[in-house]
Amino acid sequence: MRQEDPGVALAQSPLITRLPAELRDEFVAACRVRVFGPGERICLPGDPTIGPTWIEHGLIKIRTNDGRGGLAQAGLYWVGDTLLGAFRPEWTGELTAVTATTLCAIPRAIFERMCETNAHLSFTWIGLAAEHTRNLQRREALLRSLTLRPRLLLLLGIAADLMGTPTPEGILLDFPLTHATLSCGTWVSRDETGRALRDLEQQGYLRCRPRHRIFIPDRLRLDDYQRMHTEDA
């Protein structure tokens, strides 16, 4: 993990640009920007000193306590997602960077002092956090409403839209999407995820590349499949 200058890292941040202009400089100055490498543990869960936190760049997988002393796959957090529940004292689990990930946070004590002197900041952040929470809930509800293959294609479509590299032939997901990582977003076993990937590759929806990269020849076909299939092929 390394620190980055928030003024540089957040110069084009979509979230910062949504704050009132008069609050941006103070907000950015208070931010702590950390960059994690692939596979690196993000932080200790339940850290009470962490305030507003969001992913500026990258992808995080989440595993939560399964109640039996182990960890269960819980989901994926993408660019722009806010991390709220993961820092509650009662939360137990693990956050791991899948790709190089830039995580931005404001220490809770500093944020609370800022809100005491500027109620507008508090209201603005609550609105943004609520919006992101609704988006996360809608995304998860949609994913869970689908069976495995359309769910997997929806997940890959999200990856393509947020982090894909366009090429003349299609979209390359140029970061490691192992079966273990994808199973975090599909809530099934790695073996089931692997079988679904092979089936979808045989049907031409994707191509598995070396180093766990995935190539999508036609992004629109993924949406077509989701609309037409509500049961496993």
Confidence at residue 230, expressed as pLDDT on a 0 to 100 scale: 54
Winning range, highest mean pLDDT, from 16-25, 87-96, 114-123, 180-189: 180-189
Q: Which residues of 73-91 are buried (b: 16+ CB within 10 A; e: fewer)?
A: bbbbbbbebbbeebbeeee
Confidence at residue 44, expressed as pLDDT on a 0 to 100 scale: 52
Average pLDDT score over residue span 144-169: 94
What are the residues facing 62 on neighbouring strands? 75, 95
223 vs 214, which has greater pLDDT?
214
> Is 60 exceeded by the pLDDT of residue 154?
yes
Report the alpha-carbon distance of residue 102 to residue 134 in Å, rounded: 22
Average pLDDT score over residue span 139-162: 92
**One-letter amino acid of 206:** L
CATH H-level, domain 2-138: superfamily:
Jelly Rolls (2.60.120.10)
Q: Mean pLDDT score of the chain, rounded to an integer?
A: 86
Confidence at residue 140, expressed as pLDDT on a 0 to 100 scale: 87
How many Å is the maximal CA-CA distance in the chain? 59
Average pLDDT score over residue span 12-37: 88
Any residues with CB less than 8 A from the CB of 58 and at least 6 apart, and which?
36, 79, 97, 98, 99, 100, 101, 102, 103
Average pLDDT score over residue span 176-184: 92
> Is 60 exceeded by the pLDDT of residue 199?
yes
Report the alpha-carbon distance of residue 83 to residue 54 in Å, rounded: 6
Domain positions in the chain are 2-138, 146-228
What are residue 121's phi and psi, to 5 degrees? -65, -45
Q: What is the DSSP letter of 90?
A: T
- For 220, the token pair is 């629109």
Query: 68 falls in which pLDDT band (50, 70, 90)?
Result: confident
Percentage of the chain lying above the pLDDT 70 cut: 88
Average pLDDT score over residue span 206-216: 97
Residue 102 near residue 9 (C-beta atoms within 8 A): yes
Class of domain 146-228: mainly alpha
Residues 105, 109, 115: CA angle, nearest 5 degrees: 90
Report the alpha-carbon distance of residue 60 to residue 52 in Å, rounded: 17
Please state, in angstroms and as integers, the Cα–Cα distance from residue 26 to each residue in 19, 117, 224, following that order: 11, 12, 45
> Is 90 exceeded by the pLDDT of residue 86?
no
Confidence at residue 232, expressed as pLDDT on a 0 to 100 scale: 46
Average pLDDT score over residue span 168-177: 95
pLDDT digits (tens, 9 = 90+) for 3-14: 999 988 898 888
Any residues with CB less than 8 A from the CB of 76 and at least 6 apart, and which?
59, 60, 61, 62, 98, 155, 181, 184, 185
